[in-house]
Amino acid sequence: MQRTVVVAGGGISGLTACYHLVKESNVSKVILLEGSSRLGGWMRSTRTEDGAVFEHGPRGIRPAGAVGRNTLCMVSELGLEKDILPVPRSHPAAKDRYLYVNKSLHKLPSSLGGVLRTVPPFTKPLFLFGLRDLVATRGTKEDESVYDFVSRRFGKELADIVIDSLCRGVFAGDCRNLSVRSCFPFLHDAEVRRRSVILGMATSGDKGPVVDSHLIKRSKVERWSQWSLQGGLQTLSEALEDFLIRKGVEIHKESPLRQLERTGDHRWKIKLPDGSLEADHVFSALPAKDLSRLLTHNFEPLVKELQQMRTATVAVVNLEYDGEVLPVSGFGHLIPSTEDRTLLGIVYDSEAFPEHNKNGPSSTRLTVMVGGAWFESCLGSPDTVTPEQILEMATTAASAQLGVREKPSRTIVNINKDCIPQYTLGHWRRTGNISSYLHQLSLPLSLIGASYHGVSVNDCIYNAKKAVHNLLGY
Ligand SMILES: Cc1cc2nc3c(=O)[nH]c(=O)nc-3n(C[C@H](O)[C@H](O)[C@H](O)COP(=O)(O)OP(=O)(O)OC[C@H]3O[C@@H](n4cnc5c(N)ncnc54)[C@H](O)[C@@H]3O)c2cc1C
Ligand SMILES: C=Cc1c2[nH]c(c1C)Cc1[nH]c(c(CCC(=O)O)c1C)Cc1[nH]c(c(C)c1CCC(=O)O)Cc1[nH]c(c(C)c1C=C)C2
């Protein structure tokens, strides 16, 4: 096909779209336009001279489900099997997760015994919350906040402690504003199908396509919970970049799109700071807000929907300490908003991926996550808060919550502005309206990226592939 396709945005979504465009189609030209000086977007790892790796964005990918298997297939095709660092489900860094409530750490139950007895910070055994779900009636609203849904089906205590924390640990968001239908579609579907979340999930199975590869089989046999790569997850975006260069994709860094408009002959004209180019089809892998700023007034209905999409800012603080300083082993701990609104949680990175520790004597690496949906109300504008302020909060938290009295030997602070989309109430309607609009106008525009149908790396990769397949008519 004699066509030029432009992919806007070189995060993991845009890179994956280019990957499938050159691998599976005969599009004559693929052009990737990235505004910054590097590819990968939020997938960003710092590698130090003494061998340590620090993640500033995603740090672990789940192998489970259709989306998890799809990512593993791409990893194999890119020749990265040798670089995989798996964490088995039996490892403390997979099964031991903590909540910081009433100024102390509480391990979340990971066995049946723990669910049957009362364990702090809860006032009754967790299975009793489940009994309520089995008898609760089906909800009547088209959409509901995650908080309201869980309070209604499992009770307020579970919503206040567990669900509040979970939403902070995945979306850095407030469960009172997030949509259950869009953030946790399996919960919504389970209620619709079986009237009970527990029954619905017990009977849902894994309906993804049956793809099997050596790596997928290995992930099942070794029962992986999550994985990373030697050199950090940035190794994945770098491998994609190398592949695209080899396949002749035109990659333009420091080329932020300024405007996207239609030409008289139904093509796109893309304005860049130093000129313009034309394309037959555009994949936008940009955050929704950024895309809304590029579209001219002819696309007002689309712009309006995109403008309503919200994001949250997270300050990510990497701390390294000499020696083993943690009082517990595990994945990390989350802090419910009732305990501390500003501090979201702490990941114990060196537990899951000791391979990323510096060479030589033992060390501990932690990541403290700060702000999220509470950033502006607690800390003010991300443009005025200083890295020193954030670092002070992070080291104080490590000291108060984990008893780490030592001074960190290395620190890195990043204020990731607008880094996580917030699927608020009605998100499903907004994405539905956008699809109908693009379809009605037969616009040669595909929207991919974390803004729409899932924020995890797996979701971004899966949805980018699906959009390319839709274009190719698969
Ligand atoms: C702190 C943090 C921790 C996370 N942890 C995990 C985790 O453990 N596991 C997991 O699965 N997921 C995690 N995620 C989520 C996941 O990393 C992201 O959702 C995903 O990387 C988003 O990828 P994307 O390509 O859709 O968007 P982005 O990474 O935002 O990429 C968009 C790209 O578009 C570019 N751009 C913007 N405007 C323009 C323009 N006008 N012209 C050209 N280019 C432009 C940007 O520079 C950027 O490179 C985490 C995210 C964050 C922020
Ligand atoms: C405290 C803030 C955050 C932590 N991680 C993230 C934020 C905002 C981002 C994030 N974490 C996960 C995902 C992907 C979800 C997926 O569907 O694959 C994203 C975008 C994984 C995750 N992390 C935690 C949970 C419960 C999950 C869900 C999936 C899983 O069970 O693995 C817990 C958790 N996250 C953070 C901490 C400190 C923490 C503690 C237990 C950091």
Q: What pLDDT digit, counting tens, does each position of 376-407 carry? A: 999 999 999 999 999 999 999 999 999 999 99
Which ipTM score applies to this complex?
Answer: 0.96
Q: Name the pTM for this structure.
A: 0.97
Instruction: Name the pairing type of β-strands 97-101 and 332-334.
Output: parallel
Ligand 2 mutation target, pool 170, 226, 228, most atoms within 8 A of CB: 170
Q: Is residue 446 part of a domain?
A: yes
Domain count, the chain: 2
Query: Sign (positive/negative) of CA torsion 321, 60, 191, 465?
Result: positive
Q: Which pLDDT belongs to residue 1?
A: 52
Give the Cα separation of 206 and 201 in Å (integer). 10
Q: For residues 42 and 455, is the Cβ–Cβ distance under 8 A?
A: no
- Do 142 and 265 sit in the same domain of this protein? no
Q: What's the CATH code of the domain at 263?
A: 3.50.50.60
Plot region of 449 (φ>0 → left; ψ -120 to 50 → alpha; else → beta): left
Give the Cα separation of 464 and 454 in Å (integer). 11
pLDDT, tens only, 213-228: 899 999 999 999 999 9
Which-ligand-closest: CA of 294? 1
Q: Which pLDDT belongs to residue 336?
A: 98
Q: What is the mean pLDDT of residues 53-58?
A: 98
* Residue nearest ligand 1's atom 2 by CA: 57
* Residue nearest ligand 2's atom 3 by CA: 169
Q: Is residue 161 part of a domain?
A: yes
Q: Report long-range pairs for 93-97 (Cβ below 8 Å, ≥24 apart).
A: 93/329, 93/330, 93/331, 93/348, 93/351, 93/352, 94/225, 94/226, 94/331, 94/352, 95/225, 95/330, 96/328, 96/329, 96/330, 96/331, 97/330, 97/331, 97/332, 97/333, 97/334
Amino acid occupying residue 159: A
HSE, CB side, 13 Å, CA atoms: give it for residue 109.
16
pLDDT, tens only, 109-156: 887 777 888 888 999 988 888 888 898 889 889 999 999 999 999 999
pLDDT, tens only, 426-446: 999 999 999 999 999 999 999
Residue with tokens 């800390």: 379
180 lines ligand 2 (CB under 6 A): no
- Do 303 and 429 sit in the same domain of this protein? yes
12 lines ligand 2 (CB under 6 A): no
- Do 174 and 258 sit in the same domain of this protein? no
Give distance in angstroms: CA of 217 to centre of ligand 2: 25
Domain that holds residue 455: 4-45+231-309+424-472
Give distance in angstroms: CA of 331 to centre of ligand 2: 10
For 202, residues 6+ apart whose C-beta sits below 8 A from its C-beta are: none
